[in-house]
C-alpha cells in the first residue's frame, strides 16, 4: 500500500480500557449499539472529545490528550442524549455542547414551543453554572477559538456557533476567577455576539490556522470566502474567490466542525463534497466532486488557487456495483492532495507543481488499496492526518518509501516513473538509504526511460529540495525539473489518455522566474573558443576565482568515498563552467531576491554549485560500490570487466545529462571516464568517442597512458592515435613522456610545420640566405635546417618551453627515421 497509516488514536484501544477500569463501560455494547461511544470533535491542541453512555444511560463527555496519552472526564448529563457537537476552550474551563433533546415524535407530543435542539455553555472548572445559547429546531455546531501558543488569554474565550439555518455567529465570553480557583462567566445578561457570515451553503474550519472558509451562492457562480480570526483582534475577511461550481440545489454541509452525525445519508448525498487544503509552502487548493451523467464515471475538480487555474479529472470506474460506489475522500498530505475512492483509485496530486501533470501519481488496483480506510466518513482535520468518524480512529498518514520504491521498480510507463521519482526525492527529501536505492534504480533504467533523463531529474530535484527550505521564495527561482514540455502521454492508454484529453491547460500569468541555462551555455561556448591567455583579463580572473570558491566548498571526501578514483586536477573547461554558473545564478537571484542580501545570496549560490558536484560524485560512489570496482580501473595493463563497462556506460549518460543541462562535473570526471574507455573499448570505438566529444583527453590520463604502457605494436598504435588528437597546448605538456621514435617524428613534423607557418606569415623582402658551409651528406635536410635555423634565431621557437625541441632535435630525428626506413640501423 502506497499510503502508510499509523493509528494515533483509537476508541477501542485508548478509551474503552480506561472506561472499564472506572466502571463506566457497562452500557457499552458495540454489537447492539454502535453509537454508545463515538468521537465528537478534535481540538487545535490535539485533544479529542468523545462521548459515551453510562450505566444509567447517562451521557458522559470525555477528553483524550494525544501528547500525554491520558483521558479526562469533562461532564455528565443525567439523561440519554445524542450529542451533536462539542468543544472545550483552551484552558478547559468552559464546555459548549449542542445536542438533540427530543425526537420529532416526542416534540409532537409536547407543546409546540418546545425546541428540538439545545446548545449549552457550561462552566466545568469546577463544574458550576450553565447557560442556554440556542434552543432551536435546527442543528447547531459549536467551536471554541484557540489563541496562538504562548499567549495568555484565560480571561476571555470566543465561541463560534454555526447554524443549519446558514449563518455563523461569534460569542465573546469573559470569565473571572473566584475563590478556590473557581472560574465563572462574568456577564450576567446576554453574551456579546457578532455575525460572521450569512447565507452560506458550505463551511470548513481550519483549526491550526484559525481560519473559516465558507461558500456563498451568487447567481450562476459561487464565491469562496475566508475569515481569519486573530488572538487579540476580532476577525477579518482575507479572501474572496469565484468558483465555477453549482451550489444552488445543494444541502448545507460543514467540514471539520467535529463529526457531523445529524445529517442522514440522503441529506449527505445531496450536500457539497468539497474541501479546502492549505500547505506550509503557501499552497491553497479547493477539491470537490462534480455531478456526472455517466453512471460508471467519477468527476472531480481541483482548484489550485495559488497558481490561478484548475483541473478537472474524469475516471472510469473498474467496478460499478452500487454498494461499492462511495463519495470521493480528499486528504491533505502537505506536498500532495490525495483523492481516494475505496476499491477504485488513489490519486496523489502534486500541489507545489501542478503545471506538470507528470508529477501526479494515479494508482488503481492493489497499489491503491488502503485497508484501514474503507468508510465514507473520512475527514482530514490536520495535515497528514485522517479521522475516520465511523470507526472512531485517527491516523497519521504518510507515503510509504518502500511501497513507493516498489512502485517505481514495477512501473513500465514514463509518466508513472517520473511521478514516483519526484515523489521520492521531494516528499522524503534526501535520506541516504532512499537516495542510494534511487541511484541503483537509475543505473538499471537509463535506457528504458524515453521521455525524460532520470539523471537530470535526480540532480535537479535533489538540488531543489536541499536548497529551497533554507530561503523563502527560493523555490520560485531555482529549477525543479529539466523538462520544458512533457510529451509522455503520446502512447498512453486508459486513465492517463483520458485525463490528458480533459486537461485544461492554462498559461502562467506571472513571468518565468526559474533559472535557465540558455545564457550560461552561450557564454561558456564563447569563452571556450578563445585562447587561454584570456585568463589574464579581470572578467575571467573573477570567473576562475568563483570556481576556486566552489571547489573549497566541496564536502571532504573521506577514505570510503575515495573508493572512486576522482582526481583533484586542473580542468580549464569545467572550472570555467563552474565560475560562469556561479556568476549567472548570482545575478539571477539578485534580480528576484534582493531582500535576501548579497552575502546570503553568495552563500546560496556556492552551496548550490557545490551540492551539484557532490550529487554527481554521490552517483559515482554508489555505482562504484554496486559494481564492486576498485582503483585498479585506472591501470591500462588489462582489459576492463563487465562491471567497468557498465560504469563507463553510466558515466557516458552522466556526461550526456550534464551537457543537456549545461552543468559542471567534478574535477577528475573526464580523466576517470577516459581511463575506463581505454580499458573497455576497442581502439576504433575509443577513437570514435574521442572524435565525437564523448571522451575528453586530459593531461592526467594521457600522461599516465604514455608512461605506463609499454611499446608493443598494439600499444604504439594506441599511443600514436591519442597523441595525434591532442590539442596543441596539451600536446606540448605530455608528448615528452613518450620516449619513442614515432613520438619524436610527430613532434619534429609538428615543429617544422609551425616554423614554416611563421615563415609564411613574415613580411620579408630579402631572398632566402645562401647555405652555410656544411657537409653534403643529405642536401635536402641541410637546406631545410638552414631555413629553420634562421627563424629560430629570430626568437620564434613555438616550443620554447621544451628545451630539447629545436633544429638539432629535428635534424637528428629526420636522420634516424631515414636510416630506419632504409633498413640501415644494423649495418
- Is-above-0.85 flag for pTM? no
pLDDT for res 782: 60
- Is 766 a domain residue? yes
Contacts of 146 (CB under 8 A, 6+ apart): 43, 44, 45, 90, 207, 210
Does the pLDDT at position 189 exceed 60? yes
Q: Judge contact between 312 and 502, C-beta under 8 A.
A: yes
- Is 807 a domain residue? yes
Does the pLDDT at position 144 exceed 90? yes
pLDDT for res 815: 62
- Is 780 a domain residue? yes
pLDDT for res 486: 47
> Tens digits of per-residue pLDDT, 324-342?
556 888 999 888 999 998 8
- Is 265 a domain residue? no
The Cα–Cα gap between 296 and 771 comes to: 102
pLDDT level of residue 261 (50, 70, 90 thresholds): low
> Tens digits of per-residue pLDDT, 650-669?
999 999 999 989 999 988 89
pLDDT for res 509: 33
HSE, CB side, 13 Å, CA atoms: give it for residue 335: 15
> Tens digits of per-residue pLDDT, 491-515?
444 444 443 443 333 333 344 567 7
Does the pLDDT at position 581 exceed 90? yes
Mean pLDDT for 428-439 is 84
Q: Is 104 helix (H, G, I), strand (E, B) or coil?
A: helix
- In 3D space, the residue among 59, 50, 61, 39 whose CA is nearest the CA of residue 124 turns out to be 61
- DSSP tag of 11: I
CA angle in degrees (0–180, nearest 5) for 812-815-817: 105
CA angle in degrees (0–180, nearest 5) for 735-740-743: 45
> Tens digits of per-residue pLDDT, 355-413?
776 778 999 888 888 877 766 667 888 888 999 888 889 999 999 999 999 999 999 88
pLDDT for res 822: 61
pLDDT for res 767: 44
Of residues 38 and 376, more confidently modeled: 38
Of residues 108 and 47, more confidently modeled: 47
- Is 810 a domain residue? yes
CB atoms within 10 A of CB 812: 12
- In 3D space, the residue among 138, 151, 143 whose CA is nearest the CA of residue 100 turns out to be 138
Contacts of 9 (CB under 8 A, 6+ apart): 48, 64, 66, 393, 394
Task: Tell me the DSSP string of 701-763.
Answer: HHHHHHHHS---HHHHHHHHHHHHTS-HHHHHHHGGG--SHHHHHHHHHHHHHHHHHHHHH--
- Mapped to the 3 state alphabet, what secondary structure does 44-96 carry? CCCEEEEEEECCCCCEEEEEEECCCCEEEEEEEECCCCEEEEEEECCCCCEEE
Mean pLDDT for 51-61 is 86
- Is 800 a domain residue? yes
Of residues 593 and 579, more confidently modeled: 579
Q: Judge contact between 418 and 424, C-beta under 8 A.
A: no
Quote the percentage of the chain above a pLDDT of 90.
31
Say how many domains are in the chain. Answer: 1
- In 3D space, the residue among 56, 66, 54 whose CA is nearest the CA of residue 24 turns out to be 54
Does the pLDDT at position 778 exceed 60? no
Among the ranges 266-270, 295-299, 657-661, which has the highest mean pLDDT value? Answer: 657-661
Q: Judge contact between 339 and 327, C-beta under 8 A.
A: no
For residue 754, what are the domain limits?
744-822
Q: What is the mean pLDDT of the chain?
A: 80
Does the pLDDT at position 426 exceed 70? yes
Does the pLDDT at position 48 exceed 70? yes
The Cα–Cα gap between 159 and 88 comes to: 10
Does the pLDDT at position 173 exceed 70? yes
Q: Range with the lowest mean pLDDT among 248-252, 751-755, 776-780?
A: 776-780
Task: Tell me the DSSP string of 138-150.
Answer: S-EEEEE--PPTT
Q: What is the H or E stretch that residue 204 is in?
A: strand 202-206
Amino acid at each position: 500500500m502506497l499510503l502508510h497509516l499509523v493509528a494515533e488514536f483509537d476508541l477501542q484501544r485508548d478509551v474503552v480500557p480506561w472506561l472499564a477500569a472506572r466502571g463506566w463501560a457497562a452500557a457499552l455494547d458495540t454489537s447492539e449499539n454502535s453509537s454508545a461511544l463515538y468521537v465528537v470533535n478534535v481540538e487545535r491542541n490535539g485533544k479529542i472529545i468523545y462521548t459515551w453512555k453510562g450505566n444509567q444511560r447517562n451521557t458522559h463527555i470525555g477528553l483524550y490528550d494525544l501528547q500525554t496519552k491520558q483521558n479526562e472526564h469533562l461532564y455528565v448529563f443525567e439523561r440519554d442524549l445524542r450529542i451533536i457537537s462539542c468543544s472545550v476552550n483552551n484552558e478547559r474551563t468552559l464546555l459548549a455542547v449542542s445536542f438533540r433533546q427530543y425526537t420529532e415524535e416526542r416534540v409532537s407530543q409536547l407543546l409546540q414551543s418546545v425546541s428540538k435542539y439545545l446548545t449549552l455553555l457550561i462552566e466545568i472548572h469546577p463544574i458550576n453554572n450553565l447557560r442556554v445559547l440556542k434552543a432551536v429546531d435546527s442543528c447547531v455546531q459549536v467551536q471554541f477559538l484557540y489563541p496562538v501558543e504562548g499567549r495568555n488569554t484565560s480571561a476571555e474565550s470566543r465561541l463560534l456557533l454555526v447554524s443549519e439555518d446558514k449563518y455563523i455567529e461569534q460569542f465573546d465570553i469573559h470569565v473571572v476567577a473566584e475563590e478556590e480557583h473557581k472560574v465563572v462567566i462574568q456577564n450576567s445578561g446576554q453574551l456579546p455576539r457578532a455575525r460572521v457570515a450569512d447565507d452560506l451553503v458550505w463551511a470548513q474550519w481550519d483549526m491550526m490556522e484559525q481560519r473559516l472558509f465558507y461558500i456563498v451562492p451568487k447567481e450562476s457562480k459561487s464565491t469562496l470566502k475566508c475569515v481569519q480570526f486573530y488572538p487579540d483582534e476580532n476577525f477579518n475577511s482575507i479572501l474572496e474567490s469565484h468558483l465555477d461550481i453549482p451550489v444552488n440545489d445543494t444541502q448545507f454541509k460543514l467540514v471539520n466542525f467535529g463529526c457531523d452525525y445529524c445529517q442522514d445519508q440522503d441529506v449527505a448525498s445531496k450536500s457539497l463534497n468539497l474541501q479546502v487544503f492549505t500547505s506550509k509552502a503557501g499552497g491553497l487548493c479547493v477539491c470537490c466532486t462534480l455531478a456526472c451523467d455517466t453512471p460508471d464515471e467519477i468527476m472531480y475538480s481541483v482548484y489550485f488557487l495559488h497558481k490561478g487555474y484548475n483541473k478537472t479529472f474524469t475516471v472510469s470506474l473498474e467496478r460499478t456495483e452500487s454498494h461499492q460506489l462511495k463519495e470521493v475522500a480528499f486528504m491533505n498530505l502537505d506536498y500532495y492532495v490525495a483523492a481516494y475512492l475505496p476499491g477504485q483509485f488513489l490519486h496523489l496530486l502534486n500541489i507545489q507543481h501542478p503545471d506538470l501533470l507528470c508529477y501526479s501519481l494515479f494508482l488503481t488496483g492493489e497499489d491503491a488499496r488502503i485497508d484501514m480506510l474503507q468508510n465514507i466518513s473520512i475527514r482530514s482535520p490536520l495535515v497528514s492526518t485522517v479521522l475516520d468518524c465511523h470507526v472512531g480512529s485517527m491516523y497519521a498518514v504518510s507515503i510509504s518509501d518502500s511501497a513507493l520504491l516498489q512502485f517505481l521498480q514495477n512501473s513500465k510507463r514514463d509518466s508513472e516513473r517520473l511521478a514516483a521519482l519526484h515523489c521520492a526525492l521531494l516528499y522524503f527529501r534526501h535520506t541516504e538509504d532512499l537516495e542510494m536505492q534511487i541511484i541503483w534504480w537509475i543505473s538499471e533504467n537509463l535506457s528504458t526511460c524515453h521521455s525524460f533523463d532520470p539523471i537530470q531529474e535526480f540532480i535537479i530535484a535533489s538540488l531543489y529540495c536541499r536548497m529551497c527550505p533554507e530561503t523563502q521564495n527560493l523555490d520560485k527561482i531555482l529549477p525543479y525539473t529539466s523538462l520544458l514540455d512533457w510529451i509522455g502521454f503520446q502512447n498512453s492508454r486508459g486513465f492517463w489518455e483520458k485525463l490528458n484529453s480533459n486537461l485544461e491547460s492554462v498559461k502562467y500569468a506571472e513571468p518565468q522566474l526559474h533559472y535557465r541555462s540558455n545564457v550560461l551555455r552561450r557564454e561558456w561556448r564563447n569563452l571556450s573558443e578563445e585562447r587561454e591567455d584570456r585568463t589574464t583579463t579581470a572578467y575571467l580572473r573573477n570567473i576562475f576565482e568563483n570556481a576556486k570558491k566552489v571547489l573549497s566548498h566541496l564536502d571532504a571526501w573521506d577514505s570510503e568515498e575515495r573508493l572512486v578514483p576522482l582526481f583533484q586536477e586542473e580542468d580549464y573547461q569545467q572550472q570555467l563552467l563552474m565560475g560562469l554558473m556561479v556568476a549567472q545564478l548570482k545575478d539571477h537571484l539578485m534580480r528576484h531576491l534582493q531582500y535576501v542580501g548579497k552575502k546570503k545570496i553568495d552563500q546560496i549560490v556556492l552551496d548550490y554549485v557545490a551540492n551539484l558536484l557532490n550529487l554527481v560524485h554521490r552517483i559515482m560512489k554508489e555505482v562504484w560500490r554496486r559494481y564492486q570496482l576498485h582503483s585498479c580501473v585506472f591501470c591500462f595493463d588489462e582489459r576492463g570487466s563487465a562491471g567497468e563497462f557498465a560504469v563507463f556506460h553510466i558515466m557516458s549518460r552522466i556526461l550526456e545529462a550534464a551537457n543537456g543541462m549545461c552543468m559542471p562535473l567534478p574535477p577528475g570526471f573526464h580523466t576517470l571516464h577516459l581511463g575506463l574507455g581505454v580499458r573497455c573499448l576497442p581502439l576504433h570505438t575509443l577513437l570514435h568517442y574521442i572524435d565525437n566529444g564523448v571522451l575528453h583527453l586530459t593531461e592526467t590520463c594521457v600522461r599516465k597512458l604514455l608512461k605506463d604502457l609499454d611499446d608493443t605494436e598494439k600499444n604504439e598504435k594506441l599511443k600514436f592515435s591519442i597523441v595525434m588528437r591532442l590539442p596543441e597546448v596539451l600536446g606540448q605538456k605530455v608528448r615528452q613522456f613518450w620516449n619513442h621514435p614515432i613520438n619524436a617524428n610527430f613532434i619534429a613534423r609538428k615543429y617544422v610545420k609551425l616554423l614554416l607557418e611563421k615563415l609564411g606569415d613574415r613580411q620579408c623582402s630579402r631572398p632566402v640566405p645562401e647555405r652555410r658551409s656544411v657537409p653534403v651528406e643529405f642536401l635536402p635536410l641541410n637546406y631545410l635546417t638552414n631555413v629553420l635555423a634562421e627563424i629560430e634565431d629570430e626568437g620564434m621557437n613555438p616550443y620554447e618551453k621544451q628545451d630539447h625541441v629545436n633544429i638539432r632535435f629535428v635534424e637528428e630525428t629526420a636522420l634516424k627515421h631515414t636510416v630506419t626506413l632504409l633498413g640501415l640501423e644494423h649495418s
